[in-house]
Amino acid sequence: MHLNADFSRRAVVHGAALPWQPSPMAGVERRMLDRIGGEVARATSIVRYAAGSRFSSHMHGGGEEFLVLDGVFQDEHGDFPAGSYLRNPPGTSHTPRSEPGCTILVKLWQFDAADRTEVKLDTARIAAREVPGRPGVMATPLFADTRETVRLERWAPGAAIVLPPQGGLEVFVLDGGFTEGGEVFAVHSWLRLPIGVPLTAAVGPHGCRVWIKEGHLRYVAVGAPTTG
């Protein structure tokens, strides 16, 4: 499968409007945002676990990064409530489940092969900070290395957002909304801008909270698996 696989083009998916598609495991469904491959794929997805569902034990051959959007994600390493941000690098493994049910934003097979940095953050415990030179923006850092930065941002109502990333950008709406390119982005909308294209957005009257990944499109993995 190839979905939004041309990283030189702007890509948009309004996730809340997509039907849920079944995964190989009962009770686990997904909405695909981008994908290259079959069941083992370079992928960005919204994944929903029904109450009491689980996924089979597996190793992360290409790494896994996710943000818990609602409910509680669970595995043998702990319980992770809404707002939790995790990075499971290549070589790690777990058995995901959720007794109460949960929804996560997840990215697979997008790590550097040598990356071994594990991250487990409860973003509710991290204070947002004003961003110098960007009025109306508060940021919560999640991860940064030489390849990419990941953060949450809260945008004030009516703010004008201009962000000129050098290595591409992804934005996922958590709360509120904004307008970009004449298009309205609401909860669970996803925008990917290619290298060299700045973000120019007008925030809605209720403000907006977003997840942002920046810089990573300089290192798009052309060798992502194409079969399961």
Residue 79 inside a domain? The answer is yes
Residue 192 inside a domain? The answer is yes
114 neighbors 89 (Cβ within 8 angstroms): no
Residues 144 and 107 grouped into a single domain: no
166 neighbors 215 (Cβ within 8 angstroms): yes
Domain boundary among 122, 152, 179: 122
Residues 141 and 196 grouped into a single domain: yes
User: Domain with 69 in it: what CATH number?
Assistant: 2.60.120.10
Residue 3 inside a domain? The answer is no
- Number of other CB atoms surrounding residue 78 within 10 Å: 10
- Name the residue range of residue 80's domain: 17-122
Residues 118 and 152 grouped into a single domain: no
Residues 39-72 as b/e (b if ≥16 CB within 10 A, e otherwise) read ebbbbbbbbbbeeebbbeeeebbbbbbbbbbebb
Residue-wise pLDDT tens digits, 156-204: 999 999 999 889 999 999 999 999 999 999 999 999 999 999 999 999 9
Residue 99 CB-density burial (10 A; 0-12 exposed, 13-18 middle, 19+ buried) = middle
Rounded Cα gap, residues 72 and 68, in angstroms: 7
Residue 7 inside a domain? The answer is no
Q: Which helix (H) or strand (E) holds 13?
A: strand 11-14
Residues 82 and 152 grouped into a single domain: no
Residue-wise pLDDT tens digits, 109-162: 999 999 999 999 999 999 999 999 999 999 999 999 999 999 999 999 999 999
